[in-house]
Amino acid sequence: MCRSIKTLRPPALPEEATEEEIRAAALQYVRKVSGFRAPAAHNREVFDRAVDAIAEATAELLGGLEVRGAGVVREAG
């Protein structure tokens, strides 16, 4: 879907994804889905809420994933 969103779990990343990496992926997703690189002032609030929600869901997903032979990847936080 969006080629600039990278895989955020080991072994694609040597370490756990940072909050910054998770937020960057969420921002790329919202930009792709909305069709806006930067929203107009009247859309800023809903755009930012969507990024926050997707970043939170991504952190939860990564916290719950198990990679075979590696156990739990990270704790949600």
Q: Considering the domain boundaries, does residue 24 fall inside one?
A: yes
The 10s digit of each residue's pLDDT in 9-49 is 877 777 888 999 999 999 999 999 999 999 999 999 999 99
Task: Determine the structural domain holding residue 43 and report its residue range.
Answer: 1-65
Q: Considering the domain boundaries, does residue 73 fall inside one?
A: no
Which of 11, 13, 10, 8 has its CA nearest to residue 55? 8
Q: Considering the domain boundaries, does residue 77 fall inside one?
A: no
Q: How many domains does the chain have?
A: 1
| pLDDT above 60 (res 74) | no
Q: Considering the domain boundaries, does residue 71 fall inside one?
A: no
Q: Considering the domain boundaries, does residue 72 fall inside one?
A: no
> Does the reported pTM lie above 0.75?
yes
Q: Considering the domain boundaries, does residue 70 fall inside one?
A: no
Determine phi and psi for 66, rounding to 5 degrees. Answer: -120, 130
Strand partners, 67: 71
Return d(Cα 47, Cα 66) in angstroms, integer.
Answer: 31
Strand partners, 71: 67
Q: Considering the domain boundaries, does residue 74 fall inside one?
A: no
**59 pLDDT tier (thresholds 50, 70, 90):** very high
Q: What is the DSSP letter of 9?
A: S
